[in-house]
Chains A and B, each alone.
Chain A
């Protein structure tokens, strides 16, 4: 008897625990779909301002596809890389981990410049359509 009532109170506590965030959700205005810490050029290796660029690449998106296929851009660790992405549709280019973001559209290309300090393969995507635009291979 005692065992089952203590079990019930544990359950009640868990249910309570589950309800706290839902109350918070109701209190919020419109959920958390707005900004979430993705400021433009938030990463620490994003190059901002006039710096000598070691490698430059250009990627072109037409009709929702990358011209010539999704390129794998190879650079050496420490290189300053600049990638210009142009697109016929307005969107946002995001290079993961380096957290570089830039707007792209008919008005002009998105220019992303980073210092390739972290080795590995990193993907850049269009935030709106989800299209992968290039891979940055740092080795």
Chain B
């Protein structure tokens, strides 16, 4: 007689708990209307000269960049880097060796809440800190040291950055589709396999090749461009207008693809919470549910990507007779405006995962005391109850609406600023019709999903 292990059932976005109440139709409708009216008003009322890119460097923060503080900063960075690496090791080993139970193991909440929600949001506030302290960057740095020089150039899939879509796509599939995706064993082995792959690339082709493969770092870094804090060209820290950093640097085509992939994943998370999807998935469990979910995820990502691609093609056609002032150095229309998707991605991310962070995030503190599920109580927090009423559904609802609409408007601003940097005013205005159309579509789609 074999006793089957009791494995906590996997829920939407990995860790089960309180799900958000659907928004009412009037809330969603009004938000969509406000977003649309403001976007069209923006077309006519906003500035006619580019403004944001010039602000990207920011005003220097007094006291930074002095030699002594630089040394202290390096020590502090090393300490944080070691601490993050230690937590990373605990999370991966907990996944592989700890209790194989979602509710008794640190790895699911660490991966799906701390890593995928808290770190990107923190980056949007404090800037690209993950590059300096993230575990994969640390390991890549170590692996690339003492590497035999003069090795062959990396394959174009790596240099172009397209390979980065593979780990991020696999992650989204685990999070949103795979029926055992929150199982500690799955997360532990997947994390280890990914780490080994990144380290092998670093050893073989060096640091910059490894960074092109490490898709999570790219996504987190891209979001950090929206931050009001950044390293200035002169090495000092600067405070700047949020969004300005995104305006300064164009995205690579593969980075636009990555942003669309994550945006599509988050949109599918919304779709999977609707009644419509409930009916589709009804009565399915295990691999049957995974199969249907995989089709759904591919479908939503394809729709989100195709909508943007179509807008890009339309934009290319609309502006065909009028070469951009930079002679087309920033690529085609879709690539040129790819950065305006970043605040939209951020808005979707906050809307979908804010309550996850605030509610399920509390489990991190609880499970940190007993990461392996062995009955430890390292920090005396193992019996701390999770306060499932910490934030009311009403507050969550307004945060969701606010973040989607604000993300939309910020996207419109970024696209507008880029358009007046590229074309004379009349053409700039015309170029924005397809961009506005796709953004309004994303926003209305996002809001409709929120009504369940």
Contact = CB atoms under 8 A, between A and B. Distances in A.
B89 A18 contact: yes
Contact of B86 (A17, A94, A139): A17
Given A32-B374, A70-B282, A14 B89 contact: yes
Contacts of B179: 130
- Give the bracket for the number of chain A residues in contact with chain B: 35 or more
A119 B389 contact: yes
Nearest to B371: A21
B283 A66 contact: yes
A121 interface: yes
Contact of A119 (B85, B372, B373, B393): B393
A69 B17 contact: no
Interface string B140-156: 00100000000000000
A24 B97 CA distance: 9
Contact of B21 (A34, A69, A139): A139
Interface in B1-55: 4-7, 9-12, 16-22
A120 B21 contact: yes
Nearest to A36: B104
B283 A65 contact: yes
Interface residues of B, number: 47
Interface string B80-95: 0010011001100110
Contacts of B89: 14, 17-18
A127 interface: yes
A10 B139 CA distance: 13
Interface string A121-139: 1110111111100010101
Interface in B67-124: 82, 85-86, 89-90, 93-94, 97-101, 103-104
A83 interface: no
B85 A96 contact: no
Contacts of B373: 32, 36
Contact of B16 (A69, A72, A96, A131): A96
A21 to B, nearest CB: 5
B285 A129 contact: yes
Nearest to A7: B142
A97 B18 CA distance: 7
B299 interface: no
Contacts of B392: 119
A122 B283 contact: no
A125 B8 CA distance: 10
Contact of B388 (A10, A37, A120, A139): A120
A125 B100 contact: no
B103 A36 contact: yes
Contacts of B90: 17, 21
Contact of A33 (B82, B97, B101): B101
B279 interface: yes
A33 B100 contact: yes
B17 A28 contact: no
Nearest to A131: B285
8 contacts: A14-B86, A17-B90, A32-B99, A36-B99, A72-B275, A97-B16, A118-B389, A120-B393
Given A22-B97, A32-B373, 14 more contacts: A21-B371, A25-B97, A32-B374, A33-B101, A37-B104, A38-B103, A64-B285, A69-B279, A70-B278, A96-B11, A120-B393, A122-B18, A130-B10, A137-B21
